[in-house]
A and B are shown apart, each in its own frame.
Chain A
Amino acid sequence: MSLLATRGLTRFFGGLRAVGDVDFDLPAGQIRAIIGPNGAGKTTFVSLVCGRIAPSEGRILFEDRDITSLPPYRRVAMGIAYTFQITSIFGNLTVYENVALAVQNALQRDHDAFFRIDAREMDRRCEEALDRVGLPDRADTKAATLPYGHQRLLEVAMGLALSPKLLILDEPTQGLSDHEIEGFCTLIRAIAEQATILLIEHNMDVVMELAERITVFNNGTILSEGSPAEIRADVQVQKAYLGG
């Protein structure tokens, strides 16, 4: 069964077709990478999936339920978490508060906690999320003062803290050092034990190391899909993307 499926998914920006007629299937438990040149429509595609923008046409199915017209908060409640390509954190709040906002939402899903929340459970989950991405000693830092790479990791921690079934990561390794990228790959593999991962990534080493399957986007459509070995060998892909 597919965890996520799209049928004929299309999005226009004015006259520009950013995503066109995409049929996409993602089985539960997989690490899937989406690659493709700049402007291929990758970010637009995942934004449609998480509900950040509305499709012009087509349908989105999550666990066989049609979620096309559901607002983002309903999709998060169903288990879809999205981390932004352009870092979008709460710059004026502490790192802890950033993660706490994600944890609170996960807790509210389980219990009715509009006015009260279990502080101990909150602390535990925040610490765990920060620990896993490797930012445990930055909890009281103002998020905006973190170096860029750490802000990316904070984004991941926030996604993680939502306890999602599907974690969508939009170019998470941008701005990370080689050392940090290594840690990031380990982290993704650990997350993948519990969640399905949809990863947009430019760094081909990361893609080849992590992805079980790769989907190649070009001009808003799926150009090709296959295992890392197949994609590496694909002539079309090389022309469009890998530079021949």
Chain B
Amino acid sequence: MSVRATAARRNLHRIIVSHGGVIALLFAAQFVIGAYYHLSLTRVMVLATFAVGYNILFGYTGLLSLGHALFFGAGLYGAGIAATQFGVGASGAFVVGIAAGLLLAFALGLIILRTAGVAFMIVTMMFAQAGYLLVLYFGTYTRGDEGFVLKGALREAHLFGFSLNLADPVTRYNLALFLLAACVVGCIALVRSPVGRVLVAIRENEERSRMLGYNTFRYKLFALTLSGTICATAGAAYALLFAYVGATFASIEYSILPLLWVLLGGIGTVLGPVVGTLLMFYLVDVASSYTSAYMLVVGIVLLILIVWAPGGLLGTLRERKIGWLP
């Protein structure tokens, strides 16, 4: 075997061990943490899935979107409304939420990917804002800011003859973990594939990628669609697991948050978004128990990070120490 093939095998080994280790750690955590952290970690894992999806577009493809609340919201409302208005059951609602995000991301991509850079940021933000306003406008169905809750039979998911109680904390925790793990594994597979290689090339130098024979538009459309679909999956899961659907989740705040999580944890790394979401969540948690100006603390941490570790925690770690990190 060639030197390169041997090195590639060793790296794959390390990737499986390290990423598998983090997932195993999250699995083990449920047996030692208390009820409060049990619930918040469940939330964090769903939001981390959102961040992993966001990172495919931002971190790997180099497209900075300021409107991913639109896709999270599409999943959230797609699932929520399908469940409450159309009686498709929890599993069916989950599928509807995912499909809503997929179709929206694809259709929108055909339009917004004609822009780049700052124009792309503005256009994504505008569409997300339009989505938010639509949620408020159709208050009869969405109940606007107030939102609506899922109850009764909707707290029960039927899948392949199994019945899952979504109100049960243990079930919820492990479903969230399963979702996150699936996205992490999928993301590793993606970034190590020929497609992933081209996405990174587009991030690094789109003009060159085009002149190397790649239809960069098609690759970007693929990245956006995949990213939007994963974010919608997170949104749908959020609605079904936590039984609440509200307009906050479609607001600008939820477009900025995934960006911050990724910046904190590591741009263009598979686990970075997970680390970032976790860290930010507990940073806010701890800081807000001391001061009401907790966002100031978050701001300062981000500033320090941008100066000392511009690639985010794992991104900088990869640059300095562990080059094999995907």
Where the two chains meet, the residues of A that have a C-beta atom closer than 8 Å to any C-beta of B are 50, 52, 71-73, 76-77, 82, 84, 88-93, 96-97, 100-102, 104-105, 108-109, 113-117, 119-120, 123, 139, 158, 162
A69 to chain B, nearest CB (A): 15
Asked if B253 lies at the interface with its beta carbon under 8 angstroms from chain A, I say no
Nearest B residue to A139, CB-CB: B4
Given A73-B214, A77-B213, A90-B204, A104-B193 contact (CB < 8 Å): no
B19 to chain A, nearest CB (A): 20
Report whether B204 and A162 are in contact in the complex, using a CB–CB cutoff of 8 Å. no
Asked if B205 lies at the interface with its beta carbon under 8 angstroms from chain A, I say yes
Report whether A92 and B194 are in contact in the complex, using a CB–CB cutoff of 8 Å. no
Asked if B211 lies at the interface with its beta carbon under 8 angstroms from chain A, I say yes
Inside 8 A of B204's CB, which chain A residues have their CB?
A: 90-93
Main secondary structure of the interface of B (DSSP, over half): helix
Can you identify 30 A-B contacts, CB atoms within 8 angstroms? Answer: A50-B211, A52-B211, A72-B213, A73-B214, A82-B211, A84-B208, A88-B208, A89-B205, A90-B204, A96-B4, A101-B197, A101-B201, A101-B209, A101-B212, A104-B194, A105-B213, A108-B194, A109-B213, A113-B194, A114-B194, A115-B193, A116-B194, A119-B5, A119-B8, A120-B5, A123-B2, A123-B4, A123-B5, A139-B4, A158-B212
Report whether B213 and A73 are in contact in the complex, using a CB–CB cutoff of 8 Å. yes
Report whether A104 and B211 are in contact in the complex, using a CB–CB cutoff of 8 Å. no
Inter-chain CA distance A217–B209, complex, in Å, is: 29
Most interface-central of B194, B195, B210 (chain A CB within 10 A)? B194
Inside 8 A of B4's CB, which chain A residues have their CB?
A: 96, 123, 139
Report whether A114 and B210 are in contact in the complex, using a CB–CB cutoff of 8 Å. no
Report whether B214 and A97 are in contact in the complex, using a CB–CB cutoff of 8 Å. no
Nearest B residue to A76, CB-CB: B213
Within 8 A of A (CB), among B179-236: 193-195, 197-198, 200-201, 204-205, 207-215
Inside 8 A of B208's CB, which chain A residues have their CB?
A: 84, 88-90
Report whether B205 and A104 are in contact in the complex, using a CB–CB cutoff of 8 Å. no
Inter-chain CA distance A93–B196, complex, in Å, is: 13
Report whether A73 and B194 are in contact in the complex, using a CB–CB cutoff of 8 Å. no
Inter-chain CA distance A84–B197, complex, in Å, is: 21
Given A72-B211, A105-B213, A115-B205 contact (CB < 8 Å): no
Nearest A residue to B189, CB-CB: A115
- Supplied contacts A71-B215, A104-B194, 18 more A-B pairs, CB within 8 Å: A72-B213, A73-B214, A88-B208, A90-B201, A90-B208, A92-B204, A93-B204, A96-B4, A100-B197, A102-B212, A109-B213, A114-B194, A115-B193, A116-B193, A116-B194, A117-B194, A120-B5, A123-B2
Pick from B200, B201, B213: contact of A162, CB below 8 A.
B213
Inside 8 A of A104's CB, which chain B residues have their CB?
A: 194, 197-198
Given A89-B205, A123-B5, A76-B212 contact (CB < 8 Å): yes
Pick from B5, B8, B200, B205: contact of A88, CB below 8 A.
B205
Inter-chain CA distance A170–B226, complex, in Å, is: 38
Inside 8 A of B207's CB, which chain A residues have their CB?
A: 52, 88
Where the two chains meet, the residues of B that have a C-beta atom closer than 8 Å to any C-beta of A are 2, 4-5, 8, 193-195, 197-198, 200-201, 204-205, 207-215
B2 to chain A, nearest CB (A): 6
Inside 8 A of A101's CB, which chain B residues have their CB?
A: 197-198, 201, 209, 212
Going nearest first, the 4 A-B pairs with the smallest beta carbon separation are: A76-B213, A105-B213, A90-B204, A73-B215
Inside 8 A of B193's CB, which chain A residues have their CB?
A: 115-116
A85 to chain B, nearest CB (A): 12
Nearest B residue to A87, CB-CB: B208
Inter-chain CA distance A135–B198, complex, in Å, is: 23
Inside 8 A of B5's CB, which chain A residues have their CB?
A: 119-120, 123
Most interface-central of A90, A109, A116, A117 (chain B CB within 10 A)? A90
Nearest B residue to A106, CB-CB: B213
B264 to chain A, nearest CB (A): 21
B131 to chain A, nearest CB (A): 31
Inside 8 A of A117's CB, which chain B residues have their CB?
A: 194
Inter-chain CA distance A119–B192, complex, in Å, is: 12
B161 to chain A, nearest CB (A): 32
A217 to chain B, nearest CB (A): 21
Most interface-central of B8, B197, B208, B209 (chain A CB within 10 A)? B208
Nearest A residue to B201, CB-CB: A101
Report whether B212 and A105 are in contact in the complex, using a CB–CB cutoff of 8 Å. yes
Inside 8 A of A72's CB, which chain B residues have their CB?
A: 210-211, 213
Report whether A93 and B194 are in contact in the complex, using a CB–CB cutoff of 8 Å. no
Inside 8 A of B212's CB, which chain A residues have their CB?
A: 76, 101-102, 105, 158, 162
Nearest B residue to A96, CB-CB: B4
Report whether B205 and A90 are in contact in the complex, using a CB–CB cutoff of 8 Å. yes
